[in-house]
Structure 1
């Protein structure tokens, strides 16, 4: 399943492919410590190269079934993966989906996440015809909250004890939502 590339500056966003395995494993491994608490599934399923290969294959199978959509943010100058966006908890009845985003530490704080996220939101509404996009984040994740708010998402409330971190801590999550006509 191939998709059109979304481009901004010297970056593009496209669906993950099996050929991205080496670069994806390297990026997650490099950022594992900072991703552990809130990307539990990713960090627990990518501890070894073999695990990562199986995880990628499963992601791509779920993409074929239209249940999950993993995207990469790539630097066109270096071809490095600089970030990851995904659509999960897809509900085609509404239709809505939860969005996820993380950026490589070397690229954090440069505005790439916000530009990529805004472009990706437009892509999700235009390509998949979602009525609603939403994300969940911890109250202390100030960068994620800022991106959501700057991208036009509205704070829809806090759900208490809604997520278990890798360390087993139950934390509250703030829900943000954006409708296709916001």
Structure 2
């Protein structure tokens, strides 16, 4: 279902999480559940995947993971600030030891000069670890390519946070 590169990263992450007896949660906007999908595509993932939040709308970001309305008003849904609040909410509204959150503009429309198509903010955090943030500018490479690139980057961040 997923490209081999993503499948390999998902397998590595599932193995690392199982070794540590950790669980993961995801908070996804532009990927719409694809990160959780890549993980649950791996046999044995039920031992390490706690839950996934698909927070596509601003209302879902607020209701499900506690993103503040003032953050969305001041910085927008696609921002570092929103991604950080998403990852904190996903971590603390789950049983997970680690969480990743993504919010971005997959296209083909919806971009602007300030926030172009292909802009994605990702955040990852372990309960006892440092907070990681990446701002990616994948470019206007097509909706599917932006979403898959985001899944790949998210898995890389989770692996780095677990290691």
Q: TM class by shorter-chain length? A: 0.3 to 0.5
TM-score normalised by the chain length of structure 1:
0.30
Greater relative contact order (CA < 8 Å, ≥ 6 in sequence): 2
Higher helix proportion, which one?
A: 2
